[in-house]
Amino acid sequence: MVAGELKYHPECFICLTCGTFIGDGDTYTLVEHSKLYCGHCYYQTVVTPVIEQILPDSPGSRLPHTVTLVSIPASAHGKRGLSVSIDPPHGPPGCSTEHSHTVRVQGVDPGCMSPDVKNSIHVGDRILEINGTPIRNVPLDEIDLLIQETSRLLQLTLEHDPHDTLGHGPGPEPSPLGSPIHTPSGEVGSSSRQKPVLRSYSIDRSPGAGSLGSPASQRKDLGRSESLRVVCRPHRIFRPSDLIHGEVLGKGCFGQAIKVTHRETGEVMVMKELIRFDEETQRTFLKEVKVMRCLEHPNVLKFIGVLYKDKRLNFITEYIKGGTLRGIIKSMVSAWAGPTPAAPAP
């Protein structure tokens, strides 16, 4: 899980205030490159105090640097309440600018948005992703179509940089979508500082996610994520809709193991989930996830990935046929005991 410049293990991607796990598609905000909040706690902890101190129509002017995943619901009246613009490409003349465009929020209509959404989107914010796809991978002619498609949920990953927003005015004017993008040949923008490199903030659910990431995603920030200081195998992140639940393979006082099948691939796996949620049990469960993720032994089930369900973390391991451990032990005991000796003749 990557947010800003920080890389988290899934079990460490939790809200600083309420301690809730932040799963795939859940709204979140990373404040000042260090403090991670869920959508609700960010609005209550950061946005509300700012709004109470300044004018309600300009909360973005004093907000800190943030990276936010915003979910905008489908609109019945056909209005998204959001318009964007494209900055002219930056770079030396003659260099390819195919993927160097920067997309920013140009206008916001508060009447078309809920309070928490409208206070998370500000004019001048950079759009990093649209529906989980990095903006550099979205064709220019499709950006506006995706944003204005009101029949489905829209998720935007935005970067709000108060310093960048304040300095965005001078220099070449951004080009609204639908207008040609060009930079006057004899004009040099007053802001010559290098633009930050776009990063992917989404969750890669592919089996080899760890080996194909960008250089930024390969950095290990083990201190912040409180993880074991070892190299761990790549793992996958599942959604509840990805798996079909089967039989309960085993159940204890604190959790249970359920046989699950991947809906698309047909892969059979085992999901372990808690049935008790006291603080000590959850803390022990997190330790188990960390150990399983980094453990590789022929006599231990291989760790495959994690699943967020009802704001709680479950983990997925491989499934091995052959019955339960109890059944195997009983059969071994019976084999060792041998046939029952016949009673002596009277």
Tens of pLDDT, residue by residue over 162-201, are 877 544 544 444 444 433 333 333 444 444 444 444 444 4
Residue 191, domain member (yes or no): no
Mean pLDDT of the chain: 73
Judgement on whether residues 207 and 244 belong to the same structural domain of the protein: no
Q: Are 303 and 293 contacting, i.e. CB atoms less than 8 angstroms apart?
A: yes
State whether 26 and 168 are in the same domain: yes
Question: Quick one: which of 26, 19, 20 has its CA closest to 237?
Answer: 26
Give the whole-angstrom CA distance, residue 54 versus residue 52. 6
Same domain, 77 and 219: yes
Query: Is the same domain home to 154 and 279?
Result: no
Strands (E), 88-165: 102-108, 126-130, 133-134, 154-160
Two structure tokens written together for 257: 């193991």
Is pLDDT at 236 greater than 90 in this prediction? Answer: no
pLDDT digits (tens, 9 = 90+) for 261-308: 998 899 999 999 888 877 788 888 888 888 888 888 888 888 998 887
Residues 6+ apart with CB under 8 A from 286: 11, 313
Question: Is residue 240 a contact partner of residue 260, using CB atoms and an 8 Å limit?
Answer: no
117 and 244 assigned to the same domain:
no
Task: Give domain status of residue 344, yes or no.
Answer: no
- Of 310 and 250, the one with more pLDDT: 250
Q: Is 290 annotated as a binding residue?
A: no
How far is 270 from 258, CA to CA, in rounded Å? Answer: 6
The reported pLDDT for the residue numbered 222 is 39
Lowest-confidence segment of 23-32, 80-89, 230-239, 264-273 by average pLDDT: 230-239
23: pLDDT confidence band, cut at 50, 70 and 90? confident
In this structure, are 217 and 259 located in the same domain?
no
List the structure tokens of 176.
């609204």
Q: Is residue 331 part of a domain?
A: no
Q: What is the pLDDT of residue 53?
A: 63
More confident residue, 340 or 311: 311
Q: Does residue 27 sit in the same domain as residue 137? A: yes
Kindly report whether the global pTM for this prediction surpasses the value 0.75. no
In sequence order, what E strands does the chain have? 2-3, 6-7, 28-31, 35-38, 66-72, 82-87, 102-108, 126-130, 133-134, 154-160, 175-176, 236-238, 243-251, 255-262, 268-274, 303-309, 312-318
For residue 248, tell me if it sits in a domain: yes
Residues 213 and 295 in one domain: no
CATH number at residue 105: 2.30.42.10
Q: Nearest 5°: CA angle at 210, between 206 and 215? A: 120
242 and 263 share a domain?
A: yes
Does residue 346 lie in a domain region?
no
Q: What is the pLDDT of residues 143-165, one digit of tens each?
A: 888 888 888 888 899 998 887 75
* Residue 26 belongs to some domain of the structure: yes
Domain count of the chain?
Answer: 2
Element of type H or E holding 327: helix 325-337
CATH number of the domain at 322, please.
3.30.200.20
Q: Are residues 208 and 252 in the same domain?
A: no
The domain of 301 spans: 236-326
Same domain, 218 and 253: no
The burial of 84, by beta-carbon neighbours within 10 Å (0-12 exposed, 13-18 middle, 19 or more buried), is given as buried
Q: What are phi and psi of 34, to 5 degrees?
A: -145, -30
Residue 343 lies in a domain: no
Is 258 found in the same domain as 172? Answer: no
Return the minimum-mean-pLDDT range out of 123-132, 193-202, 332-341: 193-202
Q: Provide the pLDDT for residue 262.
A: 92
Task: Kindly state whether residue 74 falls inside one of the protein's structural domains.
Answer: yes
pLDDT by residue (tens digit) across 76-128?
777 788 888 887 766 555 554 455 678 899 888 888 888 778 878 888 899 98
